[in-house]
Structure 1
């Protein structure tokens, strides 16, 4: 092997990220960077200038070795190191990397979101047999690779950052600046930005390229950042390198944030909406404290955090075996190392629990999870790297690896006592069959993970969260990307045949039983100015609805079902035996429809949709006094009897505009107000 100190190594880098968003890091002067064809020209983001040195490669899975051998652009086919950056989100998995007869390194991309993100990379790592594995954003996930058998593991924080600096600015605008993405992939970020606006705090919200962003960071007193899902994202050092004062979300003890940026010294953090607003107000009133922290970090960046240091760490590690703490992953760098690797036999079960709960954590502000006494302690260790997860345990919790000594952990572990009927309703429970039988009464939760005696999963209803797909819907010049489950039922012909001559008159849409929000997507496409209110009680549907609503704008989600009267219904998750007095059940709240809408000031409705899976007649009967004034009514039905009753109820005031029947007696009806139709018919 050549002396890399005397001669830069020849590196082959697979880089699937659009280069105008995040360009490939320059690891060597003798580097060949590959990018999939559709991404190599960029997505028109213009965040950074496009590199002219990229070699376009195939999309998806492809034979990397054969591609290089056949490429006319790559004249020298020999390499000293092959690096693949990929994730389940990137959908680019070069194959046959071992055939290059040189070290290979997997740079694990986003493992904090998307479909089975950790499982995907573990399978890819095992199939290709990479010599080294490193992560730039998710130190907390390296223990999964260790448990799977990987030995050479490293944390190279933000090695992918393209540095854009700015001259130091002393006099600043007394404001918060936020530069970054929002939308359905960043629900918490959207909530917090809205909270800052609602609090009447001065905030500047921008989409900017790297040079413009550096200017705003340097000239604003506070630079607000929020991770997508507990990841150490690029914005942290982008703010600091420009001289901005970084106010970012508190990550977990396992993220590496505390070791890298020492909150209180080089940045500050918040752990809730209330604390974020409190700290913004404090620094707006004490600007010199923010500037002092920013100055300290700005002058430290070049010496310690510049990406060139992590690039050198990578080269020293691969070619010289040298990697200092805390960048080398080892038992000293993660208190969970031994318990995780010792529990490698249960890795499928552990990931079957962790990945769906991680996905819930991405969307929800706080997550309450109960772990039964009979479960392996490693499950608690896995889950506690989600920073907003509150762990509920029974009395006598056995700490598997000094978790209670880690920063931010003790206050997130709560003991429950007494009978389950006195416990709160949880977002998720993880229990063995023995736990549930011993407790004797149902535990209430939205999602359940039930383990057999051998710790294999018997039930994991949250696994469906990981199956969501993201198709697009076009309405003229508008395009919406919508998350839905593969088995989502959608009466396309009925919903896409909206009476468009009424679109400009629609101000309020009520979607009862909104599901994942497909109906509301259509209403937004046809009625761009309307306020949409979605009511949904099913936890699986709510998870996607809350995200889809963010992409629609002016769309409000109410986590409650509407019915003919107030009630609290239970839905048994496990076991299926209705006679069992123990197990796990969902507790689903329902409000009387008319009273709930009146409380929200929603008595005047232009478009109503009712799709409650069998309660449609009950809901319509409750809203009977309001029906005659509603312009358009969509109703789904689940029996021929209900279809006839719906028609009888609406016929006096509405005419049938569209009907669609499928799956036997299932279908959808669209009714148009008779008076409005006749008044408008002259203009049709």
Structure 2
């Protein structure tokens, strides 16, 4: 089947999976390239461009029956005029876990074009936002966007603890974990490698360490298990879906914070046989469920309008089972808060948030998928709101605490609640950041911020104390 795959990535970096022997790749970082009389790739404009015009550049025999558009928060690949393409049209949602307005921007794009199918790969936790925006059909298809190359002939593992990937400033939690491993004397070997070279490194390691950028089920999880490596990776929120795919302790190991990482790394390095058993079990699970055969079979089913595998059903997240789409302005207000919390979560190793007063269950349940964010409500919250929160979240994800019980990183409250709590006197000793619920619908509207607090330029739904302003000056990547 002729396929056109549109992506922002450059050759050699997050290359598209091979969906067909007759596949053309296009995008702003792809060169015009042919193999004889067959087109291999086409360069497009950066950002927005006319996809029908790109199709017109193809020979008649290569006109696609299927178009896959990979779009993410970078906005580098947002083709338009898909209505002018006579093919089925699939939107593959990329990164929505960092950057400016990543979810809201992709919802707007998804609504602007006639997609026949919308897929999430490694940010299952955001599926409910797309469904609440009224988009259909939306499915989670893990491991779809990656096709790791096979490991080439290697001897037994000859490395200890390894890490492969980026360590730039936007990967703050990853850098923190690496630093803690080094402090503990474990000296992880750090690599940047792509394709087969990366897979060989995973396979040659006793333990392959991973840390998500921001609570996402990143592609390294699939790569390490495909290579037959023993994966030690951070525990994600239940909403991310990692534990629906792989069983902790059997297929991989999960750690909770830097001290647990050090402890588990030491234990695995001291017991290479145990690490090898986990690696073998993880590889078998990958081969059975997430290699190209089963993934492509599920993709074919989704294209035909049939259900995917039960474990991948978004309805398993109660937030995806709400009865009707949300009013756009209400969803935009929730996203103004969530996307700010998400970016703060990327920057900080641990956070607390209090949803004060009559907390909105939707806002509370939005926040629980940020794994290092401790979410609380006040003791006086009404029974109906508590019942709704309990229905939408996993056990233990929301606790009850009084506003005066601690210093909070973020307080989400109405202006009336803040005034009753003591106004500026309360703010001087309690939160590092504040979100006023009556301003979230239009956070950029004129209005004075409480004394000492400044709207976050990139995420104006959050008002920052002087303590947090330097942290937030790091530009969203």
Q: How many angstroms apart in 2 are the aligned matches of 1:462 and 1:388?
A: 23
Counterpart selection for 1:400 from 388, 395, 406: 388
| Offset at residue 78 of structure 1 (A) | 4.2
| Offset at residue 321 of structure 1 (A) | 2.6
Q: How many angstroms apart in 1 are the aligned matches of 2:202 and 2:431?
A: 43
Deviations 1:250-297 (A, max 9, x none): 011101100011211200111201111111111122222221111111
Match of 2:336 in 1: 352
Q: Does 1:544 pair with 2:473?
A: yes
Q: How many angstroms apart in 1 are the aligned matches of 2:59 and 2:100?
A: 33
Match of 2:317 in 1: 334
Specify which structure has the higher proportion of strand.
1
TM-score normalised by structure 1 residue count: 0.62
- 3-state secondary structure, aligned to 1:89: coil
| Offset at residue 14 of structure 1 (A) | 0.8
Q: Which moved more, 1:312-321 or 1:194-203?
A: 312-321
Q: How many angstroms apart in 1 are the aligned matches of 2:148 and 2:373?
A: 33
Match of 1:448 in 2: 434
Deviations 1:640-677 (A, max 9, x none): xxxxxxxxxxxxxxxxxxxxxxxxxxxxxxxxxxxxxx
| Offset at residue 440 of structure 1 (A) | 4.0
Match of 1:296 in 2: 281
- 3-state secondary structure, aligned to 1:53: strand
- 3-state secondary structure, aligned to 1:326: helix
Deviations 1:432-488 (A, max 9, x none): 233224434524222211122997657895552349xxxxxxxxxxxxxxxxxxxxx
Q: Does 1:23 pair with 2:15?
A: yes
Deviations 1:37-90 (A, max 9, x none): x45499xxxxxxxx9822222222111112322x1x443474322221011214
Where relative contact order (Cα < 8 A, 6+ residues apart) is larger, the structure is 2
Indicate conservation of the 8 Å contact 2:92/2:118, yes or no: yes
Match of 2:350 in 1: 366
Cα 1:154–1:546 shift into 2, 3 Å: closer
Q: How many angstroms apart in 1 are the aligned matches of 2:50 and 2:172?
A: 37
Cα 1:405–1:56 shift into 2, 3 Å: closer
| Offset at residue 403 of structure 1 (A) | 5.6
Counterpart selection for 2:144 from 139, 159, 162: 159
Gaps of 5+ in 2: none
TM-score normalised by structure 2 residue count: 0.87
Match of 2:306 in 1: 321
- 3-state secondary structure, aligned to 1:181: coil
Match of 1:582 in 2: none
Match of 2:375 in 1: 391
Q: How many angstroms apart in 1 are the aligned matches of 2:234 and 2:32?
A: 33
1:265-284 correspondence to structure 2 within 5 Å: 265-284=250-269
- 3-state secondary structure, aligned to 1:370: strand
| Offset at residue 170 of structure 1 (A) | 8.1
- Equivalent residues, number: 453
Counterpart selection for 1:63 from 19, 33, 50: 50
Gaps of 5+ in 1: 1-8, 43-50, 468-535, 549-684
Match of 1:229 in 2: 214
| Offset at residue 11 of structure 1 (A) | 2.1
Rg larger in structure: 1
Cα 1:454–1:368 shift into 2, 3 Å: closer
Match of 1:380 in 2: 364
- Aligned-pair Cα RMSD in Å: 2.9
| Offset at residue 143 of structure 1 (A) | 0.5
- 3-state secondary structure, aligned to 1:195: helix
Q: Which moved more, 1:143-152 or 1:422-431?
A: 422-431
- 3-state secondary structure, aligned to 2:239: coil
Match of 1:129 in 2: 114
> After TM superposition, what 4+ stretches of structure 1 lie above 6 angstroms from structure 2?
167-170, 453-456
